[in-house]
Structure 1
């Protein structure tokens, strides 16, 4: 095999495909945000961020309820069982959409009496957005369950790519404002959903294969597993609420700019969580306790070790990074230091996410459910204590480390009961695996180069 073919073959790796798909989404998101920060007033940006945060929470509730559930029950099953699971998931998602529409009827009229613009937009449009995004959401779950991460790449292009293109076009025409931004968001999601329906990636027709027992099976697992998915989103939303109503939309815009760059951590983390869960599930389903824990340690350790140089570079170059994303007007305020705080705390993210996934895999989703409750309470208490003592937006950023530590402790204990392992050994394994990976890749590519000479 030639050197070029070996490079191209690397792109068939599902971890890399997942990383590229989510990385592309991040790039589109950064470009979009950069355009928005340069085109809208700071208060309008705050309203926009608040709107997206709440929509994100609603989407994560649905994703937490169904994504892990679909992957777990669909992966590795027979064709008939897969159709039954997909159909039952479609039925559940349709029921959720109907519930949202019923709730949206009174909230639509209530929105006219609400003074906060961001909250009013949520009360008006949350059901519409939920329905518009449904086909794309289900296609995303199914391509993950099928390990078709090449299709996930196209999903990101259809969705986030079209959104970025529309935002860029409106900004170039000087037509970008809060209203057109909202309509653009809806239109891009509608386009993506239509495309996946045309391409038949949704398995929508399997809804007629749904069975009552399977629906209840998915429901009972999903009601607890949703805690895994919303853990990373819920606290950001809590902070968004507190900043929006206690400090104001302008401060929220600053806070979001510092936090938005955390996608350089979130995207590879999301990619490896997405592709790593089927591996952990496979180990568990085959009774390989040691293998599952080793896979967990390897993924957490490798990601954490890789993050260390990223953190160091971010601490040094925070100002130019913020300048690149938001423009020169945001360099002299709190945004760079907020970014520094967030990036250091991010070293705990891999353990938090993969431990949560691990608890789901060993069939103990209730722990994640209770974990979310305790994390929420600890987050709120830490924030209010911080604001009361320092009355600064920095106190909210520092307080975010408390619930993450709580989450890691609560999920480490049951995983350690399942198969005993030392927490610090995670990072030793991660470093060793990275060294091994480097040596393998070095031998692979350099040996092929010598053969060509």
Structure 2
């Protein structure tokens, strides 16, 4: 009952956290795409892509390392681990801001966006606030507590959505730079909530240990490299469209990507719940535990995403019309291709979870790092041949190649079987069908 309680409670909050990001992020997109011109929205889409890479690289460097080290270390060292990760977080954030401020002019010329320099200067406020915000969330996740992460996300993302809603409905005139400042204010609200949720878990030892810092960096450098590579892989198509074409085309392409990215939320939510358990169980039970968790978690996420993929391919024209309006009707063809990424996402997401939790982050990094270069070459070729939709074809081909390579590695190391993944997928369909059948029978009898 205890294990079931953990999975239900953690799954509820993790899915809720991802659902909050989905609803508020999609809601902000829905109004902003109608508020800004295509060129302005394309600029905002590129800015968000870059800042997402920055935030996920921070998580990669610190988050998984902190969780794994806390579970594999003596209780007396937990405070040192937290302090060491905090020091790394501050230094890394300072380095990132310095690089952004230095190269913002280059980015402005590369993508023909005059305002992007000022946008990154003011984004420094958000970078600063995210240092304690992220630390509080890492601590909670290491303690298997997801409720605080859920509520801090609701405060941060929800307040931004409400701000965008007010701006759009009242037709308040703002610039892209103003929107960056609004984002910072909302991050501050999320930080306050994160502090009150995490304070009961905070355990800091003021005597820091250089060896622990080395251990965090030693593990985290691979995960950070993996996260950056993974996000670059996912955004190569948008950056390529922005570089070879223009921000108007980016806006069209991003409207399709926004919809297809929604399918990743179940995979990410399951991965966040599985990782702490996988780290714990592989430490005590060995690689067999990772094999079973992989097959079950991929089967579950496939069961959730496959119907969405099929439905989106059929209804792409209507979906684009509803979410972006008639001006973006060309994006429907792109959506039919990009939604197919969702078939491969559960495999790639859990590949990373299994590799990191079993102490093999270097293999995860190598595969993801290699995939970026393949995707750049693939996008270049297909964009030259087919224009905007070529970026979608190029990335789809890259997803297929990475799926094949990842499956070969998993089979050799963990003896993972694809047939077991599909066995679990149909098993979960059966469970869901039985549940609905019982509910319907109860309702009819009542």
Q: Do they superpose with TM above 0.5?
A: yes
In structure 1, runs of 5+ residues without a counterpart are 1-8
Residue of structure 1 in register with 2:227 after alignment: 229
Q: Contact between 1:129 and 1:186, CA under 8 Å: does it hold in 2?
A: yes
Structure-2 residue corresponding to 1:216: 214
| The one of 292, 308, 311 aligned to 2:309 | 311
Give CA-to-partner distance per residue, 1:224-281, whole Å, 9 cap, x none: 1124433442123322222112110110001110010124312111110100112222
Q: Which of 395, 400, 404 is 2:399 aligned to? A: 404
Structure 2 match to 1:427: 422
| 2:374 pairs with one of 373, 378, 383 | 378
Q: Taking structure 1 as reference, are residues 374 and 76 closer, same or farther at Cα in structure 2, changes over 3 Å only?
A: closer
Of residues 194-203 and 61-70 in structure 1, the stretch that sits farther from structure 2 once superposed is: 194-203
The CA distance in 2 between the partners of 1:422 and 1:48, in whole Å, is 42
Give the match's secondary structure for 2:347: helix
- Aligned residue in 2 for 1:138: 135
Give the match's secondary structure for 1:13: helix
After TM superposition, which residue ranges in structure 1, 4 or more long, deviate above 6 angstroms?
108-114, 202-205, 440-443
Are 1:91 and 2:75 counterparts? no
For 1:128-277, what aligned pairs fall within 5 Å after superposition?
Answer: 128-175=125-172, 176-201=174-199, 206=204, 208-277=206-275
- Check the 8 A contact 2:60/2:220 in 1, yes or no: yes
Q: CA deviation at 1:429?
A: 2.7
Is 360-369 or 403-412 further displaced after alignment? 403-412
Post-superposition offset of 1:199: 4.9
Give the TM-score, by structure 2 length. Answer: 0.89
> Deviations 1:32-69 (Å, cap 9, x if unpaired)?
11110111111100111111111111111111111221
Q: Identify the residue that residue 117 of structure 1 maps to in structure 2.
A: 114
How many angstroms does 1:338 deviate by? 1.3
Alignment check: 8 A CA contact 1:228 1:357 kept:
no
1:344 paired residue number: 340
Q: Which range is displaced more, 139-148 or 213-222? A: 139-148
Greater mean deviation of Cα atoms: 110-119 or 191-200: 110-119
Q: CA deviation at 1:169?
A: 1.4
Q: How many residues align?
A: 439
TM-score if structure 1 supplies the norm length?
0.88
Of 198-207 and 47-56, deviating more is 198-207
SS in 2 for 1:116: coil
Residue 325 of structure 1 is matched in structure 2 by 323
Instruction: Please say if residues 87 and 208 of structure 1, whose CA atoms lie closer than 8 Å, have aligned partners that are also in contact.
Output: yes
For residues 337 and 63 of structure 1, the distance between their equivalents in structure 2, rounded to whole angstroms, comes to 34
